[in-house]
Amino acid sequence: MGTMTIKDIAKKCKVGVSTVSRAMNNHPDINPETKEMIMRVIEESNYVPNNSARNLKRSDAKAIAVLIKGIGNTFFNQLISVLERECQEKKYSCILQRVEEGENEVDVALEIAKEKKLRGIVFLGGNFSHPQSKMAQMEIPFVLSTIYTTDTEENICASVSVDDFKESYKMTEYLIGLGHRKIAIITAQREDESIGKLRLLGYQKALEKHGIPFDESLVCYMEMNVDQYSFQSGYKITKKLLKRGVSFTALYATSDTLAIGACRALKEEGIRVPEDCSVAGFDGMDAGEFYIPSITTIRQPVEAIAQATANLLFDMIKKKEQPKRMIFEGELMIRESTDVLPVV
Amino acid sequence: MGTMTIKDIAKKCKVGVSTVSRAMNNHPDINPETKEMIMRVIEESNYVPNNSARNLKRSDAKAIAVLIKGIGNTFFNQLISVLERECQEKKYSCILQRVEEGENEVDVALEIAKEKKLRGIVFLGGNFSHPQSKMAQMEIPFVLSTIYTTDTEENICASVSVDDFKESYKMTEYLIGLGHRKIAIITAQREDESIGKLRLLGYQKALEKHGIPFDESLVCYMEMNVDQYSFQSGYKITKKLLKRGVSFTALYATSDTLAIGACRALKEEGIRVPEDCSVAGFDGMDAGEFYIPSITTIRQPVEAIAQATANLLFDMIKKKEQPKRMIFEGELMIRESTDVLPVV
DNA sequence: TTGTACGCGTTATCAG
DNA sequence: CTGATAACGCGTACAA
């Protein structure tokens, strides 16, 4: 019975197609008996309506999409869960769409918005520096979650995130407060113009503030090809740093995963954490909490960010709210991987 | 200028719609100049073709989908990467579709297969015990990756995985070989009929083989509600186990994430790994490799499994291959978290 | 309450 | 090489 259509069902039931349609879509004006009969036939026939045809016709979809750049980033999983929960509550369906590293997320957004007749979009991850002309094409509300974008005064994107600059400053200052002066940093690739850069700037600013000269040889940039914020990445970079032979008493990795990779690398060289070297991360992921030693980090309030993202988006959909930037406070989680610099 | 259609473009270009369609879809029979002109207009107009309409018409899609039950399972990320790479090579597009814990993956498959005119499907995760009648509706090839299913002789599903029973037996035997006799196990929820059960059975079999009586009080079942194979889960279960006051010298967690959670819990109680208690995992994830102590585990050959999954599926699509079950060998990775039982 | 017929945006067929 | 036009499967005015 190859592929059923609504017509086949109509024929089987000896009714018109519209009646079948009404039965499927819970329309009020239909005889309950006819409806039941139709539903039974549908069930028996294993009929599955064609979504493409539906989307083509439908004007109202009650759906949003979440575009995720850089899956594998465990950090997003929690965020997504909350977003999905929130959608369910609002009776919206939530479409998850992964976008490749090389792809342009706005293009993907434009396409899927049209295909699925979306009401709104959430962007997760990515650098997000797109020309204004491109952004203007987005006819539906969208919010950037966990992403920073360098938008101008007159044209602000809706976004919710922590202030990466400030939080990074906070962490660096904490390390300095422990007595560390030679603080190595693992940061995004040189070309990064987004959160990676901000975190680096925060680090620099804190050093400057405390009269510690910025030492380029203590900065480790991630490589382009490898999986950006992975254990592997942190491990390799740290190995390389150690080979360079520069000395440092603290290592600030700009993500918890990087920090964990770094700890492994240090251990292999017989360097104890935190006794010989303090290690700090960023994000506040579970992995860092369970690690031994547990990783000192800046915890992003994921739950709150996700919640705010959903609220802002739905408010924008209802025209109740203009795009705005929302900043959340990160929390310095002092754990086992950092310690005061021992006096020698 | 709301939403452009192909007609608008045709009008703008003063050509017929079919010419525009040809330009977009790289058809051979079109004047290069006309094509170029059309493409320019499309670009300028920010026209985005409607995918629903496309899918509706298209008969051939050259696409497969990967249905993932239980994202968050980092284990899948690698698998997916390989699958995507393989698709690219074959010029197929690869659609990732998450399926909720409560959803029926076959229903989702049926729907998306129809909507996207898929050529094949890969199932990742889930228990997969579906009635034969349901499976019969799948008109396109599909393969279960990393999933075990209790299929009958005459009706085998295509699947590729390790032999969870055998591998679990292997791990347990290894622990016994170290001198351990009181081996606790963290396993799936009681109701599990899939890999969780198999791993438990492998454990039991190994005990039996070596004349060690099975002790129900050493078995920790996961809870239903919590995130199944998470750090948290392993942590909590271990805490509970310790409270029970039963003594054990080794703890076999049936996933690396559980093992890591367990290590944390043990540490908090002042129990050293591996000196006081050996801990073993399963899967061979990065997280376990970088953990301190690194986790002894059974490494699933993810790369090979993914590769075989792709090959099998594409062969089935080309009718070159019948559904079959493929078993891969797991590798016992002896690392820091296990040690011989000290003679007291 | 139900059935008929049209249109959604594309692509494919077939004459020019 | 190009342009009409017929599907694709469904929802929905509109008529009955």
The pLDDT tens digits of the residues spanning A303-325 come to 999 999 999 999 999 988 899 99
3-state DSSP call for residue A292?
coil
Q: What's residue B282's pLDDT?
A: 96
Q: Are A333 and A299 in contact (CB under 8 A)?
A: yes
Q: Return mean pLDDT, chain A.
A: 91
- Mutation pick from B83, B106, B114 vs chain A, by most beta carbons of A within 10 Å, is B114
State how far the Cα of A264 lies from the Cα of B194, in Å rounded to an integer: 34
Q: List the single protein residue with the shortest CA to C1' distance from C2.
A: A19
B290 pLDDT above the threshold of 60: yes
**Neighboring chain B residues of A267 at a CB cutoff of 8 Å:** 292
Percent residues over pLDDT 90 in chain B: 68
Q: Are B240 and B220 in contact (CB under 8 A)?
A: yes
Q: What's residue B314's pLDDT?
A: 96
Q: What's residue B2's pLDDT?
A: 60
Q: What's residue B344's pLDDT?
A: 60
Q: What's residue A82's pLDDT?
A: 92
A223 pLDDT above the threshold of 70: yes
State how far the Cα of B133 lies from the Cα of B178, in Å rounded to an integer: 48
3-state DSSP call for residue A171?
helix
Q: What's residue B293's pLDDT?
A: 97
Q: What's residue A101's pLDDT?
A: 79
- Listed as ranges, the nucleotides of chain D within 7 A of a protein C-beta are 1-5, 7-13
Backbone phi and psi for residue B253, each to the nearest 5 degrees, phi listed first = -100, 135
Range with the poorest average pLDDT among A158-172, A270-284, B78-92: B78-92
Q: What's residue B307's pLDDT?
A: 96
In the structure, how far is the CA atom of residue A26 from the C1' atom of nucleotide D10, in angstroms? 15
- Mutation pick from A286, A294, A295, A302 vs chain B, by most beta carbons of B within 10 Å, is A286
CB-based contact B289 A110, cutoff 8 Å: no
> Which pLDDT tens digit goes with each residue over B38-79?
999 999 998 999 989 999 988 777 889 999 987 667 788 889
User: The whole model's pTM is what?
Assistant: 0.88
Q: Which residues on chain A place their C-beta less than 8 Å from a C-beta of chain B? A: 2-3, 46, 48, 50-53, 55-56, 71-72, 74, 77, 80, 96, 98, 110-112, 114-116, 137, 139, 230-232, 235, 260-261, 263-264, 267, 286-287, 289-294
Range with the poorest average pLDDT among A57-61, A121-125, B274-278: A57-61
Residues with CB under 7 A from strand D: A 3, 5-7, 17-18, 21-22, 24-25, 49-50, 53-54, 56-58; B 14-19, 22, 28-32, 34-35, 53, 56-57
> Which pLDDT tens digit goes with each residue over B297-342?
999 999 999 999 999 999 999 988 999 999 999 999 999 999 999 7
B197 pLDDT above the threshold of 50: yes
**Neighboring chain B residues of A281 at a CB cutoff of 8 Å:** none
- Report the alpha-carbon angle A120-A125-A127, nearest 5: 105
Q: Nearest CB to B50: which of A50, A114, A291?
A: A114
Which nucleotide is nearest to B28 if distance is taken from CA to C1'? D1
**Neighboring chain B residues of A56 at a CB cutoff of 8 Å:** 50, 52-53, 56
In the structure, how far is the CA atom of residue B57 from the C1' atom of nucleotide C12, in angstroms? 9
- Mutation pick from B290, B302, B336, B337 vs chain A, by most beta carbons of A within 10 Å, is B290
Q: What's residue A238's pLDDT?
A: 97
Q: Nearest CB to B56: which of A46, A53, A71?
A: A53
Q: Return mean pLDDT, chain B.
A: 91
Q: List the single protein residue with the shortest CA to C1' distance from C7.
A: A57
From residue B188, alpha-carbon distances to A12, A129, A235, B221, B237 in Å are: 45, 45, 32, 6, 11
B123 pLDDT above the threshold of 60: yes
State how far the Cα of A234 lies from the Cα of A228, in Å rounded to an integer: 9
CA distance A230 to chain B (A): 9
Q: What stretches of A152-229 adopt beta strand conformation (E)?
A: 158-162, 183-187, 219-221
Among A30-34, A94-98, B203-207, the range of highest mean pLDDT? B203-207
- Report the alpha-carbon angle A111-A116-A117, nearest 5: 95
A337 pLDDT above the threshold of 50: yes
